[in-house]
Structures are given as C-alpha cells and as structure tokens.
Structure 1
Amino acid sequence: MLHLLGPPSATMGGNVRHLTDGHARILGYLAFNPGEHDRRFVASTLWPDAGGERAAGNLRAQLWRLRRDGVGLVDSDGHLLSLGDGVLVDVQLLDDWATRLIAGSPTAIDLAWVPRNIDTAEILPGFSDEWIEMERQRLQQRMLHAMECLSREFRLAGRFADALESALVVCQTDPLRESAQETLIETYLSEGNPLVAQRSYAEYRDLVMDELGVEPSPALAQRLDSFLRGEDR
C-alpha cells in the first residue's frame, strides 16, 4: 500500500517504510498518472528546471535508491516507467469511494465510513510541484461533492444524525459552498427542525454578504420559504 495522504510512506509485508522526498515524488507521479510513461517525459516533468541529461540522471539515481532501499513498487525497463502491478494507493481508494457516492451507487461499506478530516488530509504535504497542487485541489473538490452525496443518502435512509454530520464536515471545510448549505438545510427540514434550518440559512446569508457582498441564490431561500409556509412537506 502506497500512502500519499499525509507524510508519504509504503506498507509492505506489514512493515511501514517512510519515503524520502525523491521516492515520494516519483511514486506519487506514477500513482496519479496510471499506465506506462516514457522515462524522459517523467524526468522532465519531475525536474522541469534541469536540462534533459541532468533530469534523466536524477531519475536514474532515484530509481536506484528505490531499489537500494527495498521500496520497489515501480516497473521499469530501458524506456518506460509505471507503478507496479497490484500496488494499492490510499488516494485512489479514496477517489474510488467518492466516485461511487457521486454516481449514486455506494456499497454498505461506503456508508459505514465517514471521513472527517477532509480539510486537513493533504496529498504529499510540503511539496509545491504544480501537478501535486492540482491533485490536491481535484481530490478535495471530489471529496466535498461525495460528502454531500453521502449526506443525501443518509437523509433518504432516515439517518439524520449521520446526514447532519456529513453535511457539517463540508460546511466547515468550505463555508461559502452553497450546495453544502442546501444539503444541511434540507436535512434540518427533513428531520423536523425548520427553525434550526431558518437559523442556519440566516447565518449563511450573513456570511455570504460579509465575504462576497451578495445574497445566496433565490432558489435556496425559496425552498426554505416554501417549507415554512407548508407548501413543500
């Protein structure tokens, strides 16, 4: 198992090995870009400021250190690189979980697990490479979307406490995200707490006005007003 969330490490045979920055950069790139890649392209991507020969030399050195340190996990020949067959990656497992939620096809196991640290779970912390930053942003957005879907699944199943917890995680991570506020308000209304829903909307409206100088979308206010007038119950 390759761990790229938090300090990079690899679990092999029950033993955890912490990865150097060089190890983590190569393994991370191959994990986020499945398939085989030309060695020269990988080298120029990982060391963009080095010349072609120097970048290729850096790559050869890091691959040698991976083998020397017993980490492996990379399939390599004279021209192509890929992550080894069967290597599990924590980020990919999380991404797969999010995909099933977003597609509306979660398993019972998916619904039994609620990640609570999506605001602090960072891919390869301390790395500033552009491709790593893009993966961080992509994963966080997918996680936020998946947590909203998870909240709706719980709400439809009558599991209102779990629905609220999931929605609140998203609201705390991205307080201006209107879709998360809508999910939260819908849950309050579904469990029979319209006054709490009204208060939550008022707090969100004040926040949006203070931060952005605009009102929330009319649809959100109309949904709440319709319910409070008894038109949508």
Structure 2
Amino acid sequence: MTVAYIEPFEAVADVVHLLGDPYVVQGGRRCPVPEGCKRLLAFVALQGGRVDRRHAAGSLWPDGSEDRASGNLRSALWRLRGAGIDVLESDKVSISLCEGTTTDLDELCDWADRLLSGTASDADLHVPEWTSTVSELLPGWYDEWVIFERERIRQRMLHALEVLSQLLCRAHRYGEAIDAAMDAVAIEPLRETAHRALAEAHVAEGNCVEARRAFLRYRDLARRELGVEPSAEFQSWLRSSAFGRRVEPGRAGVR
C-alpha cells in the first residue's frame, strides 16, 4: 500500500481522481471515464492542469505521424465530452482543467506539504485511511510521465508520514505515531528512516524492547536484501535508548 485519500471533497467541486482507476466526481456524481480518454485526462491533470496540445499529442501517441497524434487527441476530447464529463477546456494551442476543477492528489499533497513545512494544524495530525482502491497513483500504468510522478508522490508521502509520526509522539499519541511509522515501513520496507521513526515511537511510549525488535527486523532485512548494516547513528541511538536515555523523536543519534 502506498498513498492515501485524506478527506472527501465538497460535492460542489469537480474532482479528477487519479489514485486507483481514474474517474471524475462532477456535481457530486461519480462519472466513469471512457478508456480512450483516461490517459489524456491523467496527463493534463499531472502536468499542472495545462499543457500544449502538440506536447500532449506527441507524448500520448508517440508512434505515428503528428497528424495522426493530433487526430487521436481530438477524438479523446470528443469522447470525453460525449460521456458528459466536462472538466477539460481546450483551444487551438492548449488543453487545461476547467476552472474550479481539482484532483485527489491536490488534497493529498497539500496535507503532506503542511507537515513537511512545519505549518500543520491539529487537524492534520492524523493517519490517513488506506484503502486498496487508492493504493497507488494510476496502478498498472508504465508511461514515463506516470512513473516519474508516482515516485515523486511516494517520496513525499514517506517523508510526511515520518514527520507525522514524530509530531504524534510529541503530542503523546503514541499508538497513532506507531501506525504512521508502520505505514511508512509498508510503503518502503528498506527505508532506514522509516524503521527509525517506528523505533523512536516505541521508545517514546516506553517500550524499548519493541524498539529493539523493530531495529532487529530492519537489520536482518538490510543484511539479506542489501548486504549492508544499519547506520552507525541508528545503532548508537538504540544503545542509548536501551539504557533508558530518552531521545526526542526526530533527533536520533543526538546525545
């Protein structure tokens, strides 16, 4: 599992959903997107909401002539409108999301950005709900522009979950802090900072034995999969914690 859906959008907003199989919520109603239109809709949404027509046609239909790619683009736009989905507007030069249309990624990334920038409110201190239908950005799509964006979102979520775990520890919400760190570990099992966030949450709760177990699981995995040892900083922090010296979450290795 990877990224999460945070909160439902207001019904008055048109929303392009890209986490899982693409669909659109328009006027509070869920609208399935025709197969031949999904890639165009996703491409425009992921490119910041506005793209040059020629760039879109060339990126989505690279095999064949420019005229054929332009024809495919016009066809996709026509089919999208024919399905009653009115979230794209176009002219002779560009295609863009209609004003007021957003994406599920916008809400997700705004939440992560507030955590990472230190501007999170109390309402942001929660572990997002994970569901199988929104497990990752456009699953099964292997276009280069999708792969790049998928990795960007994955990295942002990993960092946000680690910060969330630290903030929850400081608020003495240890169970939620452990959940946040475990979500980060599930996204990337070989990420040391995620395992360290989990160990820190256990120590903050007063469970040094659990922290050691978390460390040993990571150590064994790193040895088996990568042939490396955990960092000296992580090991030093664990030794200090085992002797009862509390280390503030997010300050591993500080003495």
TM-score (norm 2): 0.86
Q: Do 2:34 and 2:83's aligned partners in 1 also have CA atoms closer than 8 Å?
A: no
Partner residue of 1:142? 156
Shift of 1:35: 4.9
Cα distance in structure 2, aligned partners of 1:202 and 1:80 = 54
Whether 2:220 is the aligned partner of 1:213: answer no
Shift of 1:112: 3.6
What are the equivalent positions in structure 2 for 1:1-233 lying under 5 Å apart?
1-117=15-131, 121-232=135-246
- 1:41-60 CA-to-partner distances (Å, cap 9, x unmatched) read 11101111121110000001
Q: Do 2:203 and 2:246's aligned partners in 1 also have CA atoms closer than 8 Å?
A: no
Cα distance in structure 1, aligned partners of 2:233 and 2:41 = 45
Cα distance in structure 2, aligned partners of 1:113 and 1:164 = 10
Q: Do 1:35 and 1:83's aligned partners in 2 also have CA atoms closer than 8 Å?
A: yes
Cα distance in structure 2, aligned partners of 1:105 and 1:212 = 36
Cα distance in structure 1, aligned partners of 2:232 and 2:133 = 28
Letter in 2 for 1:148: E
Letter in 1 for 2:45: A
Cα distance in structure 2, aligned partners of 1:230 and 1:125 = 44
Cα distance in structure 2, aligned partners of 1:19 and 1:28 = 11
Q: Do 1:6 and 1:122's aligned partners in 2 also have CA atoms closer than 8 Å?
A: yes
Letter in 1 for 2:154: Q
Cα distance in structure 2, aligned partners of 1:70 and 1:11 = 11
Shift of 1:71: 0.5
Secondary structure of the residue that 1:215 maps to in structure 2? coil
Secondary structure of the residue that 2:181 maps to in structure 1? helix
**Structure 2 unpaired stretches of 5+:** 1-14, 248-255
Asked which structure has the greater RCO (Cα within 8 Å, sep 6+), the reply is 2
Cα distance in structure 1, aligned partners of 2:127 and 2:202 = 22
Q: Do 2:23 and 2:30's aligned partners in 1 also have CA atoms closer than 8 Å?
A: yes
**Structure 1 unpaired stretches of 5+:** none
TM-score (norm 1): 0.93
Letter in 1 for 2:59: T
Cα distance in structure 2, aligned partners of 1:218 and 1:147 = 23
Letter in 1 for 2:145: W
Secondary structure of the residue that 2:95 maps to in structure 1? strand
Cα distance in structure 1, aligned partners of 2:197 and 2:16 = 34
The total of aligned residue pairs comes to: 233
Shift of 1:188: 0.9
Compared with structure 1, are the counterparts of its residues 198 and 115 closer, same or farther at alpha carbon in structure 2 (3 Å cutoff)?
Answer: same
Shift of 1:223: 0.5
Shift of 1:115: 3.4
Shift of 1:216: 0.4
